[in-house]
Structure 1
Amino acid sequence: MKLTLYAAIIVLVGVATVATLNQNNVDCPSDRRFLHDLKSLLRLHLGEKIIPLETDSPYWSSSGATFTRWGRTTCPKGNDVVYKGYAGGSHYQAKGGPGTTLCLPEAPIYEKHTSEVSESYIYGSEYQTDSKTSPLHRLYQDDVPCVVCQSHHKTSAIMVPARNECFPGWHLEYKGYLFGGGTGGTGPSDYVCVDSEAEAMPGGKANTNGHLLYMIDGKCGALPCPPYVDGWELTCALCTK
């Protein structure tokens, strides 16, 4: 009870602070970032039971397929939120390190730690859609959100590259564009399917150049053209069954 009251007081103070700083009712990225960080800190110190994650159903399935929706903070209808967070991976100029893009939760839990220098680091992801004709150019240099979802009824999930439709017998959860690390970088990377209606982390539009995600173009050669088209951005689809 005391913790709940404490959390409510902090939230009210935070909302009042934002209202004071932004009296003109203008959508302000720094205000949205402040509220987002405040909620994350509350989950970190008070636990998800105090500020629960959003779910699509009061009945949590223990056997449904799980998948990550890159570029969004909500799950498609028919799925529950396992957790929301931030896309991250190795630095784009790293000469080694893991090559997997991870969805890092909003509220990390630490145990034993040291401030000494490590030999491996993880960085937040940024959209590198610098081309003005890019489908997601509006997100250039923005930080990438993510959400891990669990289906109510589907038991399998696959990401299909180069298609924005699922094969017969499969259900489309979301469609988007294929992203990955730049070929000009030295760091390892993998491929992720970023939602075509992608969003950005609140207040995260800064050129910090950590883990970078570029749209993937098809290149003719061993890849047959047609049916592929040289230089066209590849789509993707997240499908469940």
Structure 2
Amino acid sequence: MNSAYVFSWCIVGLAAMASATSEGEAEPTCFSRFDYDYKMLQKLVSLEQTIQNLKDSLAESKNKIEDMSREYELTTKNLQDLLSQTKENIESGSVYIRWGRNECQDNAEIVYKGFTAGKKWNDGGSGGDTICLPEDPSWLNYSTINSPRGTVYGTEINIEEPSGVFEKKVLDQNLPCVACHVKKSSVIMIPGRGHCYTNWNLEYNGYLMADKHSHPTPHNHVCVDHHPDFMQGGGKNNDDHILYLTISKCGSLPCPPYANDRELACVVCSK
């Protein structure tokens, strides 16, 4: 290396030493151009590594943000679907008949009040189901021509008193009914139980009733409230559409869990 070149860098080093000494710093040593270039190269390499680390960190953060964004969108969609389904269930709801009562539970609204009715017990025809006729009928066309028709009668309970089942005397009493709307997606009547299963809500409970087993034609089972209301002016033995308690019979029906000649309970549950 040229001696003049080295000497000039020593002069630079001595000038830097004088400046550092005036500021109370350690005295620098004389260095060559090679030392200077090497140190600068080290700094550049360190700076480049720092920049690369920042780029890697930014890329990682970007990926995390994108993952969080996708997760947020999925969660939002699931919540919107759940909200929509819940709203649909609440707005639609379900309807059931509460047999033997004039009022619905507090959690349900009345669709209409009415009278329990059906075919006469010894008629071979007409409908076989028990129906809830509204107390405020409206008519379309009607005729007084005497031609074959089905018939429908009001309903009364036939049971020996004291029954030991109902809390009050019910013999020959005419039964009301009420249609109830509940803001639940499902409603079920469970025969043979007086209580709902877990996670189901009680609407009402009572006793399973139908026609007498020896009558010529049947009608369907209904769940009559355990504490029934009665229609005003009822109590006469008209022997029209009659409901009887239903009992279990052992044999093909396993006993236990069932018992012979025991009145079956029933419950209406919603969810």
TM value normalised by structure 1: 0.72
Identity %: 37
CA distance in structure 2 between the partners assigned to 1:104 and 1:209 by the alignment: 18
Q: Point out the structure with max Rg over C-alpha.
A: 2
Matches within 5 A, 1:103-142: 103-115=132-144, 116-136=146-166, 138-142=169-173
Residue by residue, what CA displacement relative to the aligned partner does 1:6-51 show, whole Å, maximum 9, x if unpaired?
A: xxxxxxxxxxxxxxxxxxxxxxxxxxxxxxxxxxxxxxxxxxxxxx
Q: What is the letter of the counterpart of residue 158 of structure 2?
A: Q
Give the Cα–Cα distance (whole angstroms) in 2 for the partners of residues 214 and 134 of structure 1. 14
The answer to whether the 8 Å contact 1:91/1:187 transfers is no
Deviation at 1:200, TM superposition (A): 0.8
SS in 2 for 1:138: coil
What is the deviation of 1:133? 2.7
> 5 Å matches for 1:41-120?
62-115=91-144, 116-120=146-150
What count of residue pairs does the alignment treat as equivalent?
180
Match of 2:253 in 1: 223
RMSD, aligned CA: 1.3
Pairing 1:184–2:214 present: yes
Query: C-alpha displacement at 1:62, in angstroms?
Result: 4.6
Shift of 1:119: 2.8
Secondary structure class of the residue paired with 2:263:
coil
Q: Does 1:167 align with 2:197?
A: yes
Q: Contact 1:94–1:188 (CA<8 Å) still a contact in 2? A: no
1:155 aligns with 2:162: no
Does structure 2 retain, via aligned residues, the 8 Å contact 1:178–1:192? Answer: yes
Alignment partners' CA distance in 2, 1:205 and 1:187: 24
Whichever structure has more helix as a proportion of its residues is 2
Q: Which residue of 2 aligns with 1:235?
A: 265
Counterpart AA for 1:230: N
> Counterparts of 2:212 and 2:164 in 1: how far apart (Å)?
15
Q: Which runs of 4+ in 1 moved over 4 A?
A: none
Q: CA deviation at 1:118?
A: 3.2
User: TM-score normalised to the size of structure 2?
Assistant: 0.64
1:31-46 counterparts in 2 under 5 A?
none
Task: Please name the residue that 1:198 is paired with.
Answer: 228
Q: Aligned pair 1:145/2:176, yes or no?
A: yes
Are the aligned partners of 2:157 and 2:170 in contact in 1 as well (CA < 8 Å)? yes
Structure 1 residue 97, shift from structure 2 partner: 2.4
Output one character per residue of 1:80-139: Cα deviation in whole Å (capped at 9) or x when no partner: 000000000111001122111100000111121122243310111101122423413601
Shift in CA distance, 231/157, structure 1 to aligned 2, threshold 3 Å? same
**Distance across 1 between alignment mates of 2:225 and 2:254:** 26
Q: Deviations over 1:122-174 (max 9, x none)?
A: 111101122423413601001010000001x2111000000011111211111
Decide whether the 8 Å contact of 2:154 with 2:241 is kept in 1.
yes
Distance 1:134 1:186, change over 3 A: farther
The structure, 1 or 2, with the larger RCO (C-alpha pairs under 8 Å, 6+ apart) is 1
Measured in 1, the distance between the counterparts of 2:157 and 2:105 equals 22
